[in-house]
């Protein structure tokens, strides 16, 4: 099977979730016999170096907007890789649209697009959107005519270790018990420095409790978080943690952003307070709250501090609430999405 080219976005404004879920898919594709090459901008390279240094091949590319990345990708697709023609392309980048997508397609080459916004219109042979409540009607675009749609959290791209820890984590959640460990993970780049705000609110609203913060080394807030940890002996900072599944399995509740890590927490039934950081996170987070799978607060609202404190206190004090959240969230995602998506893409490329 020929190589698969990955084009994904990363940086201070968008975080590292696009690269992380692409790496998860790349692992699953490689297990199925494919080889994977990443378009490596400096921001993407930082995440590759931190988490998966030797697992994928790279095509170094200068930083640029979506159009320049698409141009560099088209050039590489024409050249091939080590004498082989590319059989597939994966795009996980909010700057792309149907026009840029179409330029990546070619005879004998299949295009998989990762989305979670249902806008703008995209073009693909396969489209993945793991958002809760997403339907085919959301993607009824002429540019996707004939495309295979993989919709809903059963297709969420989680690393295998989350599914591996699920059988031991769920019984403990459902059995209840006091809160001893809290995990705070607002994204690798900690967009807007929200982690510090969240910690200050939580630490001031409750008795001392063990809190672990997971953050990326490129986050501008790392120095501030380390200072905060020096003031609170129960606060631990983990930078570029490679054992996120274990951290989540060991935690009794979590505070996290409304992006792709939502499904990591759900797979393990981790009762969570979801902090909405961007417009594209709001609809799903609100639907999940309505379904009893999380509590949600919008950081951009003027009453954020009061809403966060109320939800934080409820999670700490109400065991029945934590059990309900664990049960409802775990029912949505079993951790096998990467396997399902890889099988579908490999089947498509072989057809």
Identical topology for domains 4-158+335-350 and 160-330: yes
Instruction: Give the class (CATH, top level) of 4-158+335-350.
Output: alpha beta
Q: What are the b/e assignments for 184-194, b being 16+ CB within 10 Å?
A: bbbbbbbbbeb
Strand partners, 298: 276
Instruction: Tell me the C-alpha distance between 51 and 286, whole Å.
Output: 31
pLDDT at 206 over 80: no
Mean pLDDT, the chain, rounded, equals: 92
**How far apart are the two ends of the chain, measured CA to CA in Å?**
12
Asked whether residue 211 carries a pLDDT value surpassing 80, the answer given is yes
Residue 280: pLDDT band with limits 50, 70, 90: confident
Q: Is the pLDDT of residue 274 over 90?
A: yes
Asked if residue 306 has pLDDT above 90, the reply is yes
Judged against a pLDDT cut of 70, whether residue 258 lies above it is answered with yes
Question: How does pLDDT run across 20-45, given as a tens digit for each residue?
Answer: 999 999 999 999 999 999 999 999 99
The domain ranges of the chain are 4-158+335-350, 160-330
pLDDT above 90 for 331: yes
Please report the pLDDT score of residue 122 as a whole number: 95
> Is pLDDT at 143 greater than 80 in this prediction?
yes
For 79-116, give the DSSP string. H-BTTB---EEEEE-TT--HHHHHTT-BTTBEEEEE-S
CA dist., res. 149 & res. 127, Å (int): 5
Residue 307 has pLDDT above 90, yes or no: yes
Question: In the prediction, which pLDDT does 12 show?
Answer: 77
Give residue-wise pLDDT tens across range 50-88.
Answer: 876 667 899 999 998 999 999 999 999 999 999 899 999
Q: Is the pLDDT of residue 125 over 80?
A: yes
- Tell the CATH topology of 160-330: Rossmann fold (3.40.50)
Across 163-175, average pLDDT: 94
Which pLDDT belongs to residue 341? Answer: 98
Identify the band that residue 204 occupies on the pLDDT scale cut at 50, 70 and 90. confident
User: Between β-strands 110-114 and 235-239, what pairing exists: parallel, antiparallel or unpaired?
Assistant: unpaired
Instruction: List residues bridging with 72 in a β-sheet.
Output: none
C-alpha distances (whole Å) from 244 to each of 140, 164, 188, 197, 340 are 36, 13, 12, 22, 22
For the ranges 10-14, 54-58, 167-171, 275-279, the one whose mean pLDDT is highest = 167-171
Beta-strand relationship, 4-8 and 36-40: parallel
- What is the mean predicted confidence (pLDDT) over 94-123? 93
Determine the pLDDT at residue 53. 60
């Amino acid at each position: 099977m020929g190589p698969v080219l990955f084009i994904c976005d990363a940086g201070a404004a968008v975080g590292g979730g696009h690269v992380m879920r692409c790496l998860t898919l790349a692992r699953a594709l490689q297990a199925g016999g494919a080889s994977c090459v990443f378009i490596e901008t400096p921001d993407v390279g930082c995440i590759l170096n931190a988490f998966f240094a030797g697992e994928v091949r790279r095509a170094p590319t200068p930083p640029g907007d979506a159009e320049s990345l698409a141009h560099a990708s088209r050039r590489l697709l024409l050249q091939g890789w080590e004498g082989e023609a590319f059989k597939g392309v994966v795009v996980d980048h909010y700057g792309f649209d149907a026009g840029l997508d179409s330029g990546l397609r070619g005879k004998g080459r299949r295009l998989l697009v990762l989305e979670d916004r249902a806008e703008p219109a995209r073009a693909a042979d396969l489209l993945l959107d793991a958002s809760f409540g997403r339907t085919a009607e959301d993607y009824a675009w002429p540019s996707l005519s004939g495309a295979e749609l993989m919709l809903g959290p059963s297709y969420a791209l989680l690393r295998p270790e989350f599914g591996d820890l699920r059988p031991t984590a769920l019984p403990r959640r459902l059995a209840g018990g006091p809160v001893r460990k809290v995990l705070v993970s607002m994204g690798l780049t900690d967009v807007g420095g929200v982690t510090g705000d969240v910690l200050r609110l939580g630490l001031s609203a409750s008795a001392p409790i063990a809190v672990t913060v997971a953050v990326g080394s490129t986050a501008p807030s790392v120095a501030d978080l380390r200072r905060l940890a020096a003031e609170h002996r129960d606060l631990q900072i983990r930078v570029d943690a490679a054992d996120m599944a274990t951290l989540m399995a060991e935690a009794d509740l979590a505070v996290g952003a409304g992006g792709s890590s939502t499904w990591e927490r759900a797979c393990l039934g981790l009762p969570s307070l979801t902090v909405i950081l961007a417009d594209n996170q709001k609809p799903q987070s609100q639907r999940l709250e309505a379904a009893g799978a999380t509590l949600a607060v919008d950081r951009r609202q003027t009453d954020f501090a009061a809403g966060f404190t109320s939800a934080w206190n409820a999670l700490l004090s109400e065991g029945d609430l934590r059990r309900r959240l664990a049960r409802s969230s775990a029912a949505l995602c079993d951790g096998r999405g990467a396997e399902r998506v890889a099988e579908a893409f490999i089947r498509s490329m072989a057809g």
